[in-house]
Structure 1
């Protein structure tokens, strides 16, 4: 057997995704379906028609197809087809590998895992003192749906930070939500969804999406960063944010220190994500840009003065294996502004500070 891949049925949405992934990897791909005319057929170099899975002669035709093309892997994103192949292939062609043979069951399991994670976050986030201004906790379908959408975006925003942000948004005042460093938009999506849920202010994302902004002064980290496309990341960010933004999120493609001169009361941004109006007063500032000490100092110096009373400052990667820039700046802020701080805590790798 070879690494030739058979996708059957070849026209389902998951089939087309798998086809494109395999094509990027240089894999030989065969498409098959049981339709006399399948619009997806033209998307494959080789396409063949098979009997319907419940018809006599299906397995004979299927095995013949495997043998003629030397197929080593089958992608079958259909539960009925997958169940038949799971029962028959190990006996008829034990060397052939079967992928994704029970997609609906797999999807159900994914949601079960999601619900358990939501329950864990609900249990973990019960420490915020309740008061007259504390909003109801995000829970149930609202929490699980938020997690599902955030999880659709790859990124470094971990579960502990997500849990803490979900909790503090019960206490965030009115004002803009500003994020320094957005990349693909995982944490930006969470900030936006929470702000929308509680009827708070718009989200402003600041990121240069530039090669110069990627260097952290750590060889192993910078080597990986240099392999990433900043323009592709910018495109992915906009792709992820566009369906959610609806005038409530926008961006400035500049380093935070350069964007600081643009931020003011009455600021209106118009981009491909639409038009967004900002108050010029920050309710929550998420600092997650370049972690080199001097850059974090600039972010803190230029942006924290805009944070209003009762607002939050979040230093991401306060605990960071590649350096101590965020921690040094966070600690200095705590010492210098102790009289303005209502409380602070570390959850996961992030430092959260609430101003009095």
Structure 2
């Protein structure tokens, strides 16, 4: 894995480095057959790991985010960061730092920013994917929409990956976990071992089911 971890630690983000390493390994396998996609880019930490793997296989990572911050990142909320506030508009804008991250790691041809709401983009999407990483808004309805709109694009043998999966409610919010459980119950995926807060599902060998 040719990633400078000293530079990684300078990127704003909530993804654990060991979890990020898992994303790299999954994407390195998955991107041999198709591009990968993430929902929720923030400042680009996960995109570096996923995108580096895709670059090694001469394919791309599509990175979806509206870049105006999630609910808990707005002014006055728990995860508000004044460095991300556009003083002209008074709104959160993470796109500038995301682009800087991608440039810093020379991933301009491997990471394709897709700016917008994931549910809108998903309804117009046609490209099969080797891996989808769901880490956007953690509001239940948003996670559910991301799963239901996008999971049909995962190729057989590909991965559907969720971040912030906490079976114990005392450790974190339950929305991603509840949606992860719905995906498990669908019977379309083989459940891989939970790694920290990353839930990994591998699509069974069945026809692509676009919804």
TM-score, normalised to structure 2's length?
Answer: 0.80
RMSD: 2.6
The number of residues matched between the two structures is 193
SS in structure 1 of the partner of residue 33 of structure 2: coil
The answer to whether structure 1 residue 332 and structure 2 residue 189 are counterparts is no
The aligned residue for residue 103 of structure 1 is none
The aligned residue for residue 203 of structure 2 is 355
Q: Which has the higher contact order (CA 8 A, sep 6+)?
A: 2
The aligned residue for residue 119 of structure 2 is 257
The aligned residue for residue 102 of structure 2 is 241
For the 8 Å contact 1:214–1:225, the answer to whether it is kept is no
The aligned residue for residue 193 of structure 1 is 52
SS in structure 2 of the partner of residue 347 of structure 1: coil
Question: Is the alpha carbon distance of 1:290 and 1:151 closer, same or farther for their aligned partners in structure 2, counting shifts above 3 Å?
Answer: same
Cα deviation for residue 203 of structure 1 reads: 0.7
In structure 1, runs of 5+ residues without a counterpart are: 1-137, 265-279
Question: Is the alpha carbon distance of 1:169 and 1:254 closer, same or farther for their aligned partners in structure 2, counting shifts above 3 Å?
Answer: closer
For the 8 Å contact 2:35–2:54, the answer to whether it is kept is no
For the 8 Å contact 1:214–1:222, the answer to whether it is kept is no
Q: Distance in 1 between matches of 2:100 and 2:145?
A: 29
Cα deviation for residue 232 of structure 1 reads: 4.2
Question: Is the alpha carbon distance of 1:334 and 1:200 closer, same or farther for their aligned partners in structure 2, counting shifts above 3 Å?
Answer: farther
Q: Give the alignment partner of residue 173 of structure 2, picking from 296, 306, 323.
A: 323
Question: Is the alpha carbon distance of 1:163 and 1:249 closer, same or farther for their aligned partners in structure 2, counting shifts above 3 Å?
Answer: closer
Q: Distance in 1 between matches of 2:28 and 2:112?
A: 23
The aligned residue for residue 209 of structure 2 is none
Question: Is the alpha carbon distance of 1:185 and 1:335 closer, same or farther for their aligned partners in structure 2, counting shifts above 3 Å?
Answer: same
Matches within 5 A, 1:166-315: 166-172=24-30, 173-197=32-56, 199-210=57-68, 214-216=70-72, 222-225=77-80, 227=82, 228-229=84-85, 231-243=92-104, 244-264=106-126, 280-315=127-162
Deviations 1:120-176, CA, capped at 9 Å, x for gaps: xxxxxxxxxxxxxxxxxx4xxx3xx45344334231110331232233245324112
Q: Distance in 2 between matches of 1:157 and 1:328?
A: 20
TM-score, normalised to structure 1's length?
Answer: 0.49
SS in structure 1 of the partner of residue 133 of structure 2: strand
In structure 2, runs of 5+ residues without a counterpart are: 86-90, 205-211
Cα deviation for residue 286 of structure 1 reads: 0.5
Q: Is 201-210 or 297-306 further displaced after alignment?
A: 201-210
Question: Is the alpha carbon distance of 1:294 and 1:232 closer, same or farther for their aligned partners in structure 2, counting shifts above 3 Å?
Answer: closer
Q: Distance in 2 between matches of 1:166 and 1:288?
A: 15
Moved over 6 A (4+): none
SS in structure 2 of the partner of residue 289 of structure 1: coil
Work out which of the two has the higher radius of gyration on C-alpha atoms and give 1 or 2.
1
The structure with more helix, counted as a fraction of residues = 1
